[in-house]
Amino acid sequence: MVRLLGRELLPGENVHHKNGIRNDNRPENLELWVSSQPAGQRVEDLLEWAHEIINLYEGDESDENRG
């Protein structure tokens, strides 16, 4: 995943293997998942967090990897 992204994983990021086989590291089998979320659930907090995620990841992946 580091090679695909061209950078190290950030805190809260992890690699998901679509087929569940952890040593199958073909690019088409890998997805970047984010486990971080804001502590509060106020709408203002969620919107701020959503904007941060969009700014962080926009353009980070090609369209074929989205889904």
- Over the stretch 25-51, which tens digit does the pLDDT of each residue have? 999 999 999 876 666 678 888 889 889
Q: Buried b / exposed e across 13-43, counting CB within 10 Å, b at 16+?
A: bebeeeeeeeeeeeeeebebeeeeeeeeeee
Q: Is the pLDDT of residue 19 over 70?
A: yes
* Threshold 0.85, pTM exceeds: no
Per the listing, tokens 């709408």 go with 43
pLDDT at 3: 94
